[in-house]
Amino acid sequence: MYPELFGELAEHQTPKFLVFACCDSRVSPSNILDFQPGEAFVFRNIANLVPTFNQLRYSGVGAAIEYAVVHLNVENILVIGHSRCGGIDRLMELPEDGSTDNDFIDDWVQIGLPAKAKVKAEFGHLPLDEQKRECEKEAVNLSLTNLQTYPYVRERMARKALALRGGYYDFVEGCFKVWEVKSIITAPIHS
């Protein structure tokens, strides 16, 4: 099965994409987008969230971004949200008093609190299930914004060497939507 391809992949990988996707077993990004081995560096987590740059927390996410952008020179970062996301459901149902039922999940999905706040402000009049669907998309936008806090992402975007894209897979309806981030970054930001 692809002996020539795997012979090349044994030597090195040159993916064009870094893909952030949810761990949900119903939404495999390689299947959805028909990626072949070596085409995408894929990172999956609960609710496909990307936290802001922070060297003290979430180092697994930061390491994946740094490796893909700096060492693999990916040209695209795609964050894919999806319908019926359990992580987003939990985010939207987090108790306002800060109490938690989980050791790790609640802390993780709190990365999405700005998306939840925006959805509550704009769509608070809708039933909770509809708010959750809106938050599935808004969490993608938040992750795309958070990606721009990583210095190597900003630097590559400023050089037009890296594009950020959001995607939403509605597996219930069988459709996939993609949008591109229009960055306002024109030069590297030095901290």
CA angle 139, 57, 84 (to 5 degrees): 25
Active site residue 26: yes
Tell me the pLDDT tens digit for each residue of 15-34.
999 999 999 999 888 888 88
CA distance 136 to 144: 13
Give the pLDDT score at 5: 62
Annotated binding site: 22, 24, 82, 85
Active site residue 22: yes
* Residue ranges per structural domain of the chain: 3-180
Active site residue 82: yes
Tell me the pLDDT tens digit for each residue of 84-143.
999 999 999 998 887 888 889 999 999 999 999 999 999 999 999 999 999 999 999 999
Give the pLDDT score at 37: 87
CATH number of 3-180: 3.40.1050.10
Q: How confident is the model at residue 191 (pLDDT cuts 50, 70, 90)?
A: very low
Decide if pLDDT at 190 tops 80. Answer: no
Which is the catalytic residue, given 23, 26, 71, 159? 26
Annotated binding site for Zn(2+): 22, 24, 82, 85
Share of the chain above pLDDT 70, in %: 91
| Chain centroid to CA 121 | 23
Supply the pTM of this predicted model.
0.89
Active site residue 190: no
Which is the catalytic residue, given 12, 23, 44, 82? 82
Active site residue 125: no
Give the pLDDT score at 30: 87
Which is the catalytic residue, given 22, 90, 133, 135? 22
Beta sheet of 163-170, edge-to-edge order? 40-45, 17-22, 76-82, 163-170, 175-180
Share of the chain above pLDDT 90, in %: 70
CA distance 80 to 98: 28
Residue 62 near residue 54, CB atoms below 8 Å: yes
